[in-house]
Amino acid sequence: MAAGMKKKTFLAPLGKDNPVFVQILGICSTLAVTNKLENTMVMVLGVMFTIALSSWTLSLVRKWIPSRIRMMVETMVIATYVIIVDISLKAFYPEMWKQLGPYVGLIITNCIVMGRVEAFALQNKPTLSLIDGLASGMGYGYVLLSIAFVRELLGTGSLWGFKILGSWWTNWSIMVMPPGGFFMLAIFIWIVHESFLKKGKEEEHA
Partner 1 sequence: MKTQNFYMRRIHPLVFMAVVTIICILLTASLHLSTFDRVKNNEQFFLRRSILDAAAIEHDGQPGTVATLYQDSVTETNGVYQVKGSDGTMRYVSQLTGPGLWGPITIMVGFAEDHKTLTGVSIVSQNETPGLGARIEEPWFTRQFVGKQGPFRRVEEGTADSPEEMDGITGATRTSESFKNIMNRAITESATKSGGQ
Site residues for partner 1 per CB under 8 A: 35-36, 39, 64-66, 68-69, 72-73, 76-77, 79-80, 83-84, 87-88, 90-92, 94, 98-99, 102, 152, 155-156, 171, 173, 176-177
What span, in angstroms and rounded, lies between the C-alpha atoms of 141 and 40?
8
We find the least distance from the C-beta atom of residue 68 to partner 1, in angstroms, to be 6
Beta carbon nearer to partner 1, 18 or 156: 156
We find the least distance from the C-beta atom of residue 125 to partner 1, in angstroms, to be 21
Burial class (CB in 10 A: 0-12, 13-18, 19+), 115: middle
Beta carbon nearer to partner 1, 80 or 109: 80
Beta carbon nearer to partner 1, 88 or 146: 88
List, in order, residues 6 or more apart from 182 with CB less than 8 Å away.
Answer: 31
- Find, among 162, 168, 158, 110, the residue nearest to 136 by Cα: 110
We find the least distance from the C-beta atom of residue 84 to partner 1, in angstroms, to be 6
- Find, among 30, 58, 69, the residue nearest to 148 by Cα: 30
Beta carbon nearer to partner 1, 68 or 205: 68
We find the least distance from the C-beta atom of residue 78 to partner 1, in angstroms, to be 10
What span, in angstroms and rounded, lies between the C-alpha atoms of 56 and 58?
6
